[in-house]
Amino acid sequence: MITMITAQNSHGVYKTKSLRSAAIVFLAILLTPILAPAQQPARRAAAPTPAKLYPIAGTVTDSVTGELLSQTTLTLCRISTRDMLQTTMTGADGRFELAPMPAGKYALVASRRGYITNEFDAHEEFSSAIVTGDGQDTEHIPFRLNPGAMIRGFVTDDAGEPLEGATVLLMRRTKSGGLGEHLVKSIQGTTDDTGLFELWDLVPGAYFLAATANPWFATHPFHSADEAANDEASADEAALDVAYPVTYYPGTTDEAAAAPIQIASGDRVQADMAMHAVPAMHITVHMAEANPAQQDANLRPAIRQTIFGNQDFPVSAPAQPGPPGSDLMEFAGIAPGRYTVEQWNPHRLAELDTAQSQQVYLSAGSPAYSVDIKLRMADGTVHPTPLNLILVSDDAIRRQISAYATDKSAARFDAVPPGKWIVLAENRSVPLAVVSIQTSAGATTDGRIVVHDSRLSATVTLAQGKTGIEGFAKKNGKGEAGVMIVLVPKDPAASPDLFRRDQSDSDGSFLLRDAAPGEYRIVAIEDGWGLDWARPEIISPYLKGGTPVTVTGQSGASMQLTIPVAVQPR
């Protein structure tokens, strides 16, 4: 079952206040109930005999200690629409019992204070649906709930005083998304008046921590030529013209020296950090000439800090334009580090490493280039909308830039740094297959483009996966729940866009959605969730024991596998 979370209109529940935490939002989306549609009575009328009902019951335990958990809320949802069907709570013996339901597939969610709210047997974005019916034991559901982990720490300044208002960024190593192992943003926090930050509801994994802050006392003067400050006054100023470089746990300003923090379920990890102010730098930005007819002609360039490839950290540095008639903008109060500088009119992007230069050229010789993409569908149809194109850097960082296709079947990336980029396309979170890419250098089928030192035009041919592949994962002839199912394309290295995954439901059934035409093997790996499955050398040992399947344009919306997929040990 795939739990791609899609937003739905909310009817039925009225809450007096807005939702307050990410965990709640997660739950709310999961549980968004839909009013019973009008056709339901009609459907009932068509089936005059009352449906046979099956019990749904089980126990909730702590996944670490095995302790039975009382006071746990369980919510049963319709699998197709995510309608909330019923809720109940476990008793002192950790046992829950829901009202019996007709045969079908249901999503079961458990939530308890101190634990991570989740669907049954959840792994990454997947979980196992509860399947009721003849021969299915749904009376002894062993729901193991993961206690949330927490990282907390104190951030202090040079004087050993608490650093209030520091932004703390937590990155997590992930293998999801078919892009190999890379870092994704986990959560972001702010230190309080005691310098404390606390980040919780963390899932097990390897984390990296970084802190950014501005010295609260810093002042960043600009000096014009006619302003002659005396020596004592300029010494006063220099003492306060300081900045904090990004500081990485355990206490380095070198991103490469950042140490991972290993977190297991229920862990409490203390991670204190000290930040040290250094003399701030001035950066001179040479801007490209703006088109005065456009409204945003006077927007000043934005500077963003780059932390673990994440560029979401705007720097609020004071700026001052250069002499009238010049195309200069001077920024003060900049800490040594890596930045992205962005101008809006015309749209320009440049990367800056202050160790190498304090000058940024958006005007000429910009280190980023535009990429124009024309889109066509392999079967000659019109591409689905909205169509989101994503460029992913073909390196360990997996930086992502995205752009939406216009109604003229084109997409433009204004400023792409040089390098090799994987091209991905998706429609409402469903990936499309990238069949081929045509540039002036020729056609490729490896789904990548290379940006050198000039603008690039490419025609990208896409195919939409329309086939759902349904089957059973079986071990010793019995359906096996919670197994990782991977649809592996024939050339895994060249086609990250063709991979599909699912987790088997309680009866061993699975559904690989939106498979594109191609030749594949389906593998079922028991406890395979820790694998870096998208890497060819990792997945290839399992291919021999997999089930071959060919999807063609004629396969239609649904393919039923007649033979079960054998579950392989990890």
Interface residues toward other proteins, by CB under 8 A: 11-21, 23-24, 27-28, 31, 33, 35, 70-71, 73, 75, 84, 87-89, 99, 111-115, 117, 148, 150, 159, 161-162, 164-165, 192-194, 198, 200-201, 216-217, 219, 221, 229-230, 232-233, 236-237, 239-240
Which strand (E) or helix (H) includes residue 445? Answer: none
- Please say which residue, 113 or 544, places its beta carbon nearer to other proteins: 113
Residue 295: which residues within 8 A CB-CB, separation 6 or more?
Answer: none
CB of 155 vs other proteins, minimal distance in Å: 12
- Please say which residue, 31 or 481, places its beta carbon nearer to other proteins: 31
For residue 462, give the nearest of 501, 486, 414, 498 by alpha carbon.
Answer: 498
The rounded radius of gyration (Å) of the Cα atoms in the chain is: 27
CB of 231 vs other proteins, minimal distance in Å: 9
Cα–Cα separations (whole angstroms), residue 264 to 125, 135, 207, 328: 18, 36, 11, 50
- Residue carrying the six token digits 């369980």: 74
- Please say which residue, 53 or 297, places its beta carbon nearer to other proteins: 53
Checking 544-548 for CB contacts under 8 A at 24+ apart, the result is 546/488, 546/521, 546/522, 547/471, 547/521, 547/522, 547/523, 548/519, 548/520, 548/521
CB of 222 vs other proteins, minimal distance in Å: 10
| Contact present, 129 and 79 (Cβ < 8 Å) | yes
The three-point CA angle 272-276-281 to 5° equals 140
CB of 11 vs other proteins, minimal distance in Å: 8
CB of 273 vs other proteins, minimal distance in Å: 17
Q: What is the 3-state secondary structure (H, E, C) of 308-351?
A: CCEEEEECCCCEEECCCCCCEEEEEEECCCEEEEEECCCCEEEE
CB of 216 vs other proteins, minimal distance in Å: 5
| Contact present, 410 and 374 (Cβ < 8 Å) | yes
The three-point CA angle 545-551-554 to 5° equals 155
**Torsion, CA 540, CA 554, CA 485, CA 567, rounded to 10:** -80
Distance separating alpha carbons of residues 258 and 335, to the nearest angstrom: 18
- Please say which residue, 67 or 289, places its beta carbon nearer to other proteins: 67
CB of 132 vs other proteins, minimal distance in Å: 19
- Please say which residue, 139 or 161, places its beta carbon nearer to other proteins: 161
CB of 211 vs other proteins, minimal distance in Å: 16
CB of 174 vs other proteins, minimal distance in Å: 23
- Cβ-in-10-Å burial (0-12, 13-18, 19+) of 138 comes to buried
- Please say which residue, 318 or 536, places its beta carbon nearer to other proteins: 318
CB of 312 vs other proteins, minimal distance in Å: 24
- Please say which residue, 161 or 379, places its beta carbon nearer to other proteins: 161
- Please say which residue, 17 or 544, places its beta carbon nearer to other proteins: 17
Q: What are phi and psi of 24, to 5 degrees?
A: -70, -40
- Please say which residue, 69 or 352, places its beta carbon nearer to other proteins: 69
The SS3 assignment for 442 reads: strand
- Please say which residue, 79 or 240, places its beta carbon nearer to other proteins: 240
Which strand (E) or helix (H) includes residue 408? Answer: none
